[in-house]
Amino acid sequence: MPQFLLRPLSSVVLLFLLLFIHQAKAQVAPDEILFGQTAAFEGPSAQLGEEMRNGVLSAFEEVNRNGGVAGRKLRLISYDDGYQPAKAIVNVNRLIGHDKVFALVGCVGTPTSKAIAPIAAAEEVPLIGPFTGAGFLREASAKNIVNIRASYAEETEAWVEHLTEDLGITRIAAFYQDDSFGRAGLDGVKAALEKRGLELAGEGRYMRNTTAVKRALLAIRSHNPEAVAMIGAYKASATFIKLARQLGLDVIFMNISFVGSKALSAELEGDGRRVYVTQVVPFPDDTDIPLVQSYQKALTAFNPALETGFVSLEGYLAGRFVAAVLEELGPDVTREAFLEKVETTRRFDIDGLELLFGPGDNQGLNRVFLTELKGDGSFRAIDRLPK
């Protein structure tokens, strides 16, 4: 052992260490709390990262205009990962080790979340509101993770329920991204089918960050499905739908919330024939909901040029949730206290929308909404699939 470690510490060094330990425990500055985000801001999934960031920032700026939380402003640092796990790891190590963020919020994607979750857990950093419904983030052992949205298992269960009960469809194929995101959704579809004594009517996969979907489409078409359950990013999913129509595959296309409804609609140029998307937040234009009213005002104040959307509403909800927990904590803020407050308070009311947590339950919302793509490129909420 080096000899200097055996020497008594001077009073100055001891004071310095005590101050350092105190600052490490406090984890926040006197005038601000810093949060970090890794998401795609370039590449084929960039719109999801941009909208999620806009939502979080609009919430933070709204809070800051009203004086912050206990006198502290909320600030967000965002880094681009291109929807690539390796880059996400670099970003999170930088956010935690260099930028010294209090927590991560609004990170986007299942494969990227899977890559960064062990880092956040090892450093005991809260991972709040990731834009993914993957089951591994909802395990009881994930003590530092706080989910806002419903899971992919709940979305895929809703798909199969609507297809089988509303329309009597039993031949359901799966198109999925070949990674942890796609497989999480695929497992959900298989479980929902098995629950009803059914099996997949074919499957096809594609590589993340590509639109190489033709092989997947041909594999699925050979099984003559009546519907395709789609677990993919918006560019790949839109490419699949357009090519399927060209080849005469007339089926229902059920898309998962991660696809990004606005982005999918834009890629399809508004052609929403038989295209449906499940959502995990309320309709962003439903001003009968107080939360949506607040969101619209905050988004306009942040940037009047931005349009409303499901993804930015989810980001806004994550930002408002962060502020709500911090309000409960008051001036004494630590990572440990934040996570404990979520578990012990259990119920958070964000302008009339209730998020419910508890021991072993780190997911605030469970409801799944069904939406249909209209001819003008917009979406409408529906209760049942039309015959």
The residue extents of the domains of the chain are 12-149+287-356, 152-279+369-382
Longest dimension (CA), the chain: 81
Task: Give, in order, the Cα–Cα distances in Å from 115 to each of 14, 76, 84, 125, 219.
Answer: 38, 21, 9, 14, 30
Say yes or no: do domains 12-149+287-356 and 152-279+369-382 share a fold.
yes
Mean pLDDT of the region 6-33: 52
**Using H for helix, E for strand and C for coil, what is the string for the chain?**
CCHHHHCCCCHHHHHHHHHHHHHHHHCCCCCEEEEEEEECCCCCCHHHHHHHHHHHHHHHHHHHHCCCECCEEEEEEEEECCCCHHHHHHHHHHHHHCCCCCEEECCECHHHHHHHHHHHHHCCCCEECCECCCHHHHCCCCCCEEECCCCHHHHHHHHHHHHHHHHCCCCEEEEEECCHHHHHHHHHHHHHHHHCCCCCCCEEEECCCCCCCHHHHHHHHCCCCCEEEEECCHHHHHHHHHHHHHCCCCCEEEECHHHCHHHHHHHCCCCCCCEEEEECCCCCCCCCCHHHHHHHHHHHHHCCCCCCCHHHHHHHHHHHHHHHHHHHHCCCCCHHHHHHHHHHHCEEEECCEEEECECCECECCCCCEEEEECCCCCEEEECCCCC
Q: pLDDT for 295-331, tens place per residue?
A: 999 999 999 999 999 999 999 999 999 999 999 999 9
- The pLDDT score that the predictor gives to residue 238 is 97
pLDDT of residue 198: 98
**At residue 22, does pLDDT exceed 90?**
no
Q: What is the mean pLDDT of residues 350-379?
A: 93
Mean pLDDT (whole number) for 115-127? 97
| Amino acid sitting at position 206 | Y
Mean pLDDT computed over 240-247: 96
For position 27, what pLDDT does the model report?
65
Model pTM score: 0.91
Percent of the chain with pLDDT over 70: 93
Give the range among 4-13, 227-236, 270-279, 362-371 with minimum mean pLDDT.
Answer: 4-13
pLDDT attached to residue 376: 85
CATH number assigned to the domain with residue range 152-279+369-382, chosen from the 4 options 3.40.50.1980, 3.40.50.2300, 3.40.50.1370, 2.60.120.560 = 3.40.50.2300
For position 13, what pLDDT does the model report?
40
pLDDT tens, position by position, 75-110: 999 999 999 999 999 999 999 999 999 999 999 999
pLDDT band at 377 (very low <50, low <70, confident <90, very high): confident
pLDDT digits (tens, 9 = 90+) for 167-179: 999 999 999 999 9
Q: In the prediction, which pLDDT does 23 show? A: 40
Predicted pLDDT at 15: 41
CATH number of 12-149+287-356: 3.40.50.2300
Predicted local confidence at residue 272, as pLDDT: 86
pLDDT above 50 for 1: no
Reading phi first (left if > 0) and then psi (alpha if -120 to 50, else beta), residue 71 is in left
pLDDT band at 25 (very low <50, low <70, confident <90, very high): very low
Cα 312 to Cα 299: distance, rounded to the nearest angstrom: 9
